[in-house]
Structure 1
Amino acid sequence: MRGLSAQAVLAASILGPSLPVPANAAWADYPARSRIPDSCPDYNDYSKSRHEPFSSGALALPNMRPSPECRTFNSSAVEKVISDMQARLKDPDMAVLFANTFPSTLDTTVRYFDPDLNLAFIITGDITAQWLRDTGNQFAHLYRLLPQDKNLQALIKAMINTESRYIAEYPYCGAFQPPPESGLAPSHNDWADNVRINPPVDNQTVFECKYELDSLAGFLKISRSYYANTNDTSFMNDNWKAAMNSIMTTIHDQSQSTWTDDWRYVSYYNWTGTAGALSPQVPNGGNGEPKMANGLVASSHRPSDDLCVFNFITSDNAMMSVELDHIANMLDKAATQADLSKQARSYAATIRDAVWNTTLNLNGVFAYETNGYGGYYVMDDANVPSLMSLPYLGFLKRNDSNYVKTKNHLFSRLNPYYAEGKSFSGIGGPHVNATYPWPMSQVSAIYGSDDDAEIAQRLDVLLKNTAGLGLIHESVSIYNATDYSRPWFAWANSYFAEMLLDLAERKPGLIFKEDTPYVVGQ
């Protein structure tokens, strides 16, 4: 991925003439025909500097929220959660970090929203494109607020409809341009230059088309989370049904072996970098390493957008099995689309069994990638879904013996992408550099622990490694904690805030002044 400067897009008008925006209002109060004022700074620049007021804590963390008129979406329900948590958190720096991270997605990334057209465009932060994976994670901490905020509910519903249109046509693509109805100009992606894709795609609709299985699982997560918190089935329109059909077809096709019994080479999709492409070429004509069918679903790229070594990613499949079960339960509860429910549940069981039966090595440690031929690549990548995040994904319990072995293995020298410095340590991946672990890995490890001392230690690492900016970054150097990547990365901020809300329920005494649980929406 590559950050793009897009001030013209950030301040672009939406549909029709601009409406006057009162100083105390947010852009989303005028969702169809408004604009971010031209006076608002580019948040990519704003996020690199400290802004007053500062916390009273030892770190004096700054307030990094845009001014109210520059926020891209307003929610009184969100503001209440911030107020509730700040009143309870015992560390003033942690209170400011939560206040910066919890609303980050709504404050900065809603670039277009029209409830009448049921369309939305959500960027990742410093990249002006809508990633299926990122949106699923950027909003994960907000779903419980949907019963309290009809405007937020309409935004999520519009996001589902927009992504349904994308997936129905391009199920192998994970990042997209603004919908044409928005009036926003498509962005140019240098990483997509000189890349051959079969089937071909329209770069006015698609921003990038590396095939990542977790992108489809992320869409399922958005859909079932919306229904679970609203009981509204209206999102299951023709667009959504077409998207689900595309997903089921992709799962089937990518579960097949590379070779047929009579030695025909099977390729449903291939992505090939060519001379001049910034992304590495994918071997075997863009198909990756050969694979043997074993019940898992293949992916050519990881959740990090990096090229796979072997095409069966354990954590992607674990997430997909969980989300397919949720989708089946949702459809059964809504008493609709029984055939789709049956298909989803069947795939969920097949994939879940394959994860347990084919991805554990002789030491009982989950491999990150396998190929069906007996090849195991034992490592982890910080992006979620990851092996470290298996409890967060709902695939297994924190105390599962295989998970405990895997976690101990991955937070050690046995994982080639674990790195440790004087102030920061964690799991990273090849996406940035082996010497730059990701804060996201520490968040996942907290989700995977019930040990108070471990959780407190990992929280301390996160709190002290924001480069003094009070935001969660993509990666941090083990040699220089002020050297980080991506100053504006909404998913990482949302994931941290979601984790803190999880602790507010299950470990309130660790973070609150009083040992009383706090549950969002209650």
Structure 2
Amino acid sequence: MGAMTRPTLDPAVTATVRAAADRVRATSGPRVGDLVESALLRTLTDTVTVGEDGTAFVITGDIPAMWLRDSTTQLTPYLRFLTSCPPLADLVAGVVRRQLACLDHDPYANAFNDGPTGAHYDPDDVCDDPHVWEQKYEIDSLAYPVTLLHTLWRATGRTDVLDERAHRVLRTVVDQLRAEQDHDTSPYRFRRDTDIPTETLARDGRGTPVGRTGMSWSGFRPSDDACTYGYNVPANLFAAQALLAVGELAADVLGDQPLADDARALSRELVAGVEEFGVVGVPGGPDGRRMYAYEVDGLGGVLRMDDANTPSLLSLPLLAPDVLDAEVWRTTRAVVLSPANPYWYSGSAASGVGSPHTLPGRVWPIALAVEGLTGTAEDRVRILDLLARTDGGTDRMHESFDVSDPTAYSRPWFSWADSMFCELALTVADDADARRS
């Protein structure tokens, strides 16, 4: 990729960020606006490096690797400015190019190094590729770059990123999702010498047994924890949405109708699999009420929960709006935001969704932001205020914090959480503009 350098912010980018923060100040007060301005600038100056080839490498914050998921979600609040601020569109294009290069190199990996450095989360993992930080296969690692590419194209009309490599990667995404509909024939294995069961896969790296469902198998969740059951429902619905994007790009830009047809057919298969196996009864609820499970195995195993990391069940209107069942999702939301979800926590400072990835009693700012973004305008105002009050005195969002003591938190610098806070604040400003118009 060549030498990497920190980008010098274009004056247009700085002006765009400050104007956005001023909108937030006018709606939500000076402190929230200051938090937004600092976070938007910090992500651009401290997590992004640009290579001589124009690609952009994005670290998560406190980990020196690029996750395909995080590098997309960290850009969320900037996507509204793609048409009004061309330098931001150029940056997003640089990230997309790097993501496509990563997928072209290894579509099973979730996190990559900035070149063949040989750095690994665990040097003893089966995968010893010097480009790969970690090779935990997660469906969202395929879907997020596709949706970012599609968003860039729809917003700007630019097709320079849709080159031969992009075409090849889109084909790979479809082929891999289809191949993992029958995981027993897959070559993928993940083994780690650890006593932590969520850090490795059972059955000598193959994962727990699954039956064919029409859904696509995933070894790990968006939290990077191993799936209890191999079919993660929100990830499959997100993939189904991403496949619709592949279909549109293939048909309208690349002129590849067979790829478009295959992507759309696979999207329908994933949705049908979810409808048949992933929609289940509500525990303890009245007969007939149905909700999305978090994971299933096609053999009778069902996991009713939600996790803070996206794609989550709570986030489906944001990530899979064209493929979800709205009524089923509304019921699911009510379950997720209640004690029926084993990872919903409530304390004196906050209530919300946590994760088995962090300590019990910890809620995630990402999940709180998603709760607001998928809720009402009143929900958004309430949760924005809550997040601003629970930063532990650091002026930053964290991975998680204790629901009764926000000064007890994990990850002092987590750019994804910062970005979701900014997206929530900007949406609150949008709501205010809508009320005035």
**Alpha-carbon offset, residue 73 of structure 1:** 9.8
Alignment of 1:173-184 (within 5 A): 173-179=109-115
Contact 1:102/1:498 (<8 A) preserved: no
Q: What residue is the counterpart of 2:436 in the other structure? A: 516
Secondary structure of 1:172's partner? coil
Whole-angstrom distance in 2 between the partners of 1:76 and 1:240 = 30
Over 3 Å counting, the alpha-carbon distance change for 1:379 and 1:195 in structure 2 is same
**Alpha-carbon offset, residue 515 of structure 1:** 3.8
Alignment of 1:92-103 (within 5 A): 92-103=30-41
Contact 1:72/1:110 (<8 A) preserved: no
Normalising by structure 1, what TM-score?
0.76
AA matched with 2:413? W
Higher Rg of the two aligned structures: 1
AA matched with 1:106? L
Whole-angstrom distance in 1 between the partners of 2:243 and 2:61 = 28
**Alpha-carbon offset, residue 283 of structure 1:** 0.5
Question: Structure 1 residue aligned with 2:367, among 441, 456, 459?
Answer: 441
Question: Structure 2 residue aligned with 1:112, among 50, 73, 90?
Answer: 50
Question: Structure 2 residue aligned with 1:145, among 81, 84, 105?
Answer: 81
Contact 2:338/2:344 (<8 A) preserved: yes
Q: Which shifted more, 209-218 or 455-464? A: 455-464
Over 3 Å counting, the alpha-carbon distance change for 1:441 and 1:283 in structure 2 is same
Whole-angstrom distance in 1 between the partners of 2:24 and 2:207 = 48
CA offset digits 1:71-124 (Å, max 9, x no partner)? 79981453343354145224222222222333332132112343xx23221111
1:121 aligns with 2:88: no
1:330 aligns with 2:249: yes
**Alpha-carbon offset, residue 316 of structure 1:** 0.5
Question: Structure 2 residue aligned with 1:381, among 303, 307, 310?
Answer: 307
Contact 1:271/1:286 (<8 A) preserved: yes
Question: Structure 1 residue aligned with 2:119, among 188, 194, 198?
Answer: 188
Quick one: percent identity of the two aligned structures?
26
Question: Structure 2 residue aligned with 1:156, among 92, 117, 121?
Answer: 92
Secondary structure of 1:365's partner? strand
1:268 aligns with 2:187: yes
Q: What residue is the counterpart of 2:270 in the other structure? A: 351
Contact 1:121/1:179 (<8 A) preserved: no
**Alpha-carbon offset, residue 252 of structure 1:** 1.3
Over 3 Å counting, the alpha-carbon distance change for 1:269 and 1:463 in structure 2 is same
Over 3 Å counting, the alpha-carbon distance change for 1:375 and 1:107 in structure 2 is same
Q: What residue is the counterpart of 1:61 in the other structure? A: none
Contact 2:215/2:236 (<8 A) preserved: yes
Q: What residue is the counterpart of 2:285 in the other structure? A: none
Alignment of 1:68-87 (within 5 A): 75-76=13-14, 78-87=16-25
Whole-angstrom distance in 1 between the partners of 2:134 and 2:11 = 26
AA matched with 2:253? A
Q: What residue is the counterpart of 2:337 in the other structure? A: 411
- How many residue pairs get matched? 429
Contact 1:398/1:404 (<8 A) preserved: no
Contact 2:108/2:137 (<8 A) preserved: yes
Whole-angstrom distance in 2 between the partners of 1:132 and 1:242 = 17
Q: What residue is the counterpart of 1:220 in the other structure? A: 146
Q: What residue is the counterpart of 2:398 in the other structure? A: 473
Gaps of 5+ in 2: 283-289
RMSD between superposed Cα atoms in Å: 2.6
**Alpha-carbon offset, residue 302 of structure 1:** 0.5
Whole-angstrom distance in 1 between the partners of 2:271 and 2:262 = 14
Query: Of Structure 1 and Structure 2, which has the larger fraction of its residues in helix?
Result: 2
**Alpha-carbon offset, residue 420 of structure 1:** 1.2
Contact 2:354/2:364 (<8 A) preserved: yes
Secondary structure of 2:57's partner? strand
Q: What residue is the counterpart of 1:28 in the other structure? A: 7
Whole-angstrom distance in 2 between the partners of 1:73 and 1:343 = 43
Contact 2:17/2:40 (<8 A) preserved: no
Contact 2:240/2:320 (<8 A) preserved: no
**Alpha-carbon offset, residue 382 of structure 1:** 0.2
Q: What residue is the counterpart of 2:281 in the other structure? A: 362
Alignment of 1:229-378 (within 5 A): 229-256=155-182, 258=184, 266-274=185-193, 280-334=199-253, 336-363=255-282, 364-378=290-304
Whole-angstrom distance in 1 between the partners of 2:324 and 2:277 = 21
Whole-angstrom distance in 2 between the partners of 1:221 and 1:382 = 20
Whole-angstrom distance in 2 between the partners of 1:257 and 1:122 = 31
Gaps of 5+ in 1: 1-12, 19-26, 30-70, 181-185, 259-265, 518-522
AA matched with 1:313? N
Over 3 Å counting, the alpha-carbon distance change for 1:331 and 1:275 in structure 2 is closer
Contact 1:227/1:233 (<8 A) preserved: yes
Whole-angstrom distance in 1 between the partners of 2:100 and 2:377 = 40
Over 3 Å counting, the alpha-carbon distance change for 1:257 and 1:270 in structure 2 is closer
Contact 1:110/1:122 (<8 A) preserved: yes
Secondary structure of 1:294's partner? coil
**Alpha-carbon offset, residue 253 of structure 1:** 1.2
